[in-house]
């Protein structure tokens, strides 16, 4: 079973789509449940396994009968009953038309749609051997016609068995590659403890609704996405984000379905359920990526389009050369050589070269918190030679923190911070929240503010424990008639030159301190930039922030190429300009204002901590927001493409060597079939190395 994502216009019904797919010779089922996929795959694997076992059981007597083709076989008279042509006919027929039915169906679909695939070669080769043997059986109608003519029942039967055995091995390996998805599916608990009408009810996961209050105990998996309303805990999110260190979560923090609660009990409000959860999105993205074709796959498709007709022609030429020139009038030998050419040339390995590597590479990436949204993205990334970073929320945390509070009286700074944070408690401004958070981290006890007032574009004012507090800009202080302390004002300008945001604090009309705030670099940023440069990639920073702040940030993280004060639409224009210089450009961002640039770049990379709009506009999502994952993604992309090229090389080398050897008569058809199956398995095993690298 294969999966496909189909985009279609709303005017087209699912029934019309189904009819069209049915006309093409396929059967389609619409569903969204990944567990259903797993069940269907298990059933198909079981059916294939049964077919291989039955085919091998029926083929073994036919294989033993080959001994009769050799001289000095008197010691094998006890096997003489296997030489009976009618027995061989009975054994070979179900293999040809029941076990091998999938090849006939596949070749019929291909020919009806104007193409030719490996099934066509298998059908031509096995049918030629089978029907020629049937012809000899009915024409000669002798008990031991092997003494006058060679039968090839074993050729068709053993070929089908070997090819199906190869498919069975591929199925096993693909199952291992798909474990990345299955492991994500297994993270979801089957049930959830929902609090309804003040009672705890254990209900199926599918019955959980947005808005439900859910209880999670130590050791339990979180069922859906939501916000903690009561309690706290340490949560393992490694399977979702790739981060091995557990995360501390408390009231107002977001939790994700599929993550593991370690040591606390808490209640949270469900916000995203079913297909809307982060885990469902990850599973969906990986499945879609594994179901798409990389551009490099088109090479294999183009080769296959001309390959099959050429091989059929070579096979016919081989038949004619052997029959009319090498061994005149010996049709059975000529047919054997022609069949060997058809079988050894099956482009199975060529067809597997790309998809099996994409399956393995994208699966490994998913376990590291890296989501390729398509196979094309996985391939393009290895070509990227220029990466443009947005600043806020990408290189930095996107959230201001209080770096310092400086006053003329150092001993009173904690008292001043307590007053400032108490006054700011009712404000929703990011700078206000940073001040309050800093005070709480220091363990300061905040008072309840009175007469709180927000002054648009200026700051806030409030009364705290009888003290009138004013926090804001220089302009606000002038408007309120508060004289600025020259020493503090000079210090403010120095801090601003360093790329910080600075606000003034006055207590009872006296300029008492300045508060310095800034958006800080992510810890991984400098190292990531250095690694990208070592990979030969040019790094740019583009931001709507002011030139001064941009220069300070770029210096700290090691980026020389900087564009500041750029509007969202201009970001896209700058990316377009880089592309016009012949560069393969990737844009990394997290906000709505980055969406146009993400969309126009060769490869858009969105941080999973950003907005939904940014993620929808991207080709690659870094779930954990860790910039170092971009380096990991590039490494995976390069290794995957290199692996695909290796697969192409070995597949083409196999065919290049195998076809002339078979045409020259050095390969029996059943040996050719075994070689063909082994070539496919070697390609699959090579792709699996990506899981270990």
Backbone angles phi, psi at 246, to 5 degrees: -60, 150
| 100 contact partners, CB below 8 Å, separation of at least 6 | 122, 126, 160
**Both structure tokens of 211:** 């808005």
Neighbours of 128 (CB within 10 A): 21
Other beta carbons less than 10 A from residue 665's beta carbon = 16
Tokens of 191: 């049930």
Strands 260-261 and 233-236: antiparallel
The structure tokens 């880089």 sit at: 578
Count other C-beta atoms under 10 Å from residue 643's C-beta: 24
Structure tokens at 92: 């070979």
What pairs with residue 400 in β-bridges?
Answer: 519
Of 37, 225, 390, 602, which one is the catalytic site residue? 390
Are 590 and 609 within 8 A, CB to CB? yes
Q: Is 645 exposed, middle or buried (0-12, 13-18, 19+ CB in 10 A)?
A: middle
> Which residues, other chains included, contact 479 with Cβ-Cβ below 8 Å and sequence gap of 6+?
458
Residue written as token pair 């990986």: 286
CA distances from 662 to 180, 657, 672 (A): 40, 9, 7
| 458 contacts 473 by C-beta, under 8 angstroms | yes
Q: Residue 216: beta bridge partners?
A: 266
**Is 693 labeled as catalytic in the residue annotation?**
no
Q: Are 121 and 308 in contact (CB under 8 A)?
A: yes
Nearest to 254 by CA among 286, 281, 274, 227: 227
Tell me the two tokens of residue 581.
Answer: 């210089």
Provide the token pair at 204: 């199926």
**Catalytic residue positions?**
390
């Amino acid at each position: 079973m294969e999966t496909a994502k189909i985009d279609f216009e709303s005017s087209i019904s699912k029934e019309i789509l189904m009819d069209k797919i049915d006309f093409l010779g396929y059967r389609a089922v619409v569903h969204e449940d990944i567990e259903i996929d797993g069940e269907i795959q298990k059933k198909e694997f079981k059916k294939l396994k049964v077919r291989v076992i039955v085919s091998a059981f029926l083929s073994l007597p036919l294989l033993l009968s080959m001994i009769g083709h050799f001289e000095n076989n008197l010691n094998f008279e006890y096997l003489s009953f296997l030489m009976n042509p009618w027995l061989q006919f009975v054994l070979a027929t179900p293999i040809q038309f029941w076990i091998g039915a999938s090849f006939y169906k596949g070749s019929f679909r291909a020919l009806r749609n104007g193409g030719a695939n490996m099934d066509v070669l298998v059908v031509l080769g096995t049918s030629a051997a089978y029907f020629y043997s049937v012809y000899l059986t009915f024409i000669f109608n002798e008990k031991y016609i092997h003494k006058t003519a060679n039968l090839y029942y074993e050729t068709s039967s053993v070929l089908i068995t070997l090819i199906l055995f190869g498919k069975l091995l591929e199925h096993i390996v693909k199952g291992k590659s798909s474990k990345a998805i299955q492991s994500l599916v297994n993270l979801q608990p089957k049930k959830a403890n929902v609090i309804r009408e003040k009672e705890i009810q254990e209900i199926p996961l599918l019955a959980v609704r947005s808005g439900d209050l859910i209880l999670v105990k130590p050791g339990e998996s979180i069922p859906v996405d939501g916000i903690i309303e009561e309690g706290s805990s340490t949560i393992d999110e490694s399977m979702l984000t790739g981060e091995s260190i557990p995360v501390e979560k408390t009231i107002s923090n977001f939790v994700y379905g599929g993550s593991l609660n370690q040591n606390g009990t808490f209640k949270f409000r469900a916000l995203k359920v079913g297909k809307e959860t982060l885990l469902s999105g990850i599973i969906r993205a990986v499945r879609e990526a594994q179901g798409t074709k990389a551009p490099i796959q088109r090479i294999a498709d183009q080769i296959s389009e001309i390959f099959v007709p050429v091989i059929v022609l070579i096979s016919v030429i081989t038949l004619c050369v052997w029959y009319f020139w090498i061994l005149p009038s010996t049709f059975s030998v000529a047919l054997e050589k022609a069949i060997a050419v058809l079988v050894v040339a099956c482009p199975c390995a060529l067809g597997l070269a790309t998809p099996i590597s994409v399956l393995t590479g994208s699966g490994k990436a998913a376990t590291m918190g890296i989501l390729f949204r398509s196979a094309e993205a996985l391939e393009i990334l290895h070509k990227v030679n220029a990466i443009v970073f947005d600043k806020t929320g990408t290189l930095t945390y996107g959230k201001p923190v209080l770096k310092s509070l400086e006053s003329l009286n150092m001993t009173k700074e904690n008292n001043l911070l307590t007053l400032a944070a108490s006054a700011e408690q009712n404000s929703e401004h990011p700078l206000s929240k940073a001040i309050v958070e800093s005070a709480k981290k220091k363990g300061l006890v905040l008072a309840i503010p009175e007469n709180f007032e927000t002054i648009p574009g200026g700051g806030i004012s409030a009364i705290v424990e009888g003290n009138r507090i004013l926090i804001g800009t220089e302009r606000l202080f002038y408007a309120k008639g508060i004289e600025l302390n020259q020493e503090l004002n000079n210090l403010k300008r120095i801090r601003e030159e360093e790329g910080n945001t600075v606000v003034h604090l006055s207590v009872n009309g006296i300029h008492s301190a300045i508060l310095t705030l800034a958006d800080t670099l992510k810890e991984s940023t400098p190292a990531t930039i250095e690694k990208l440069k070592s990979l030969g990639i040019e790094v740019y920073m583009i931001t709507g922030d002011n030139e001064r702040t941009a220069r300070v940030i770029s210096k700290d993280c090691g980026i020389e190429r900087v564009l500041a004060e750029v509007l969202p639409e201009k970001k896209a224009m700058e990316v377009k300009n880089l592309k016009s210089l012949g560069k393969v450009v990737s844009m990394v961002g997290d906000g709505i204002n980055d969406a146009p640039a993400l969309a126009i770049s060769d490869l858009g990379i969105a941080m999973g901590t950003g907005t939904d709009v940014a993620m929808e506009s991207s080709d690659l999502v870094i779930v954990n927001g860790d910039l170092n994952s971009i380096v990991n993604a590039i490494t995976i992309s390069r290794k995957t493409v290199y692996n695909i090229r290796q697969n192409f090389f070995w597949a083409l080398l196999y065919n290049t060597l195998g076809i002339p050897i078979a045409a020259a008569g050095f390969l029996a058809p059943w040996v050719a079939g075994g070689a063909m199956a082994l070539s496919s398995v070697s390609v699959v095993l090579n792709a699996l190395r990506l899981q270990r690298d």
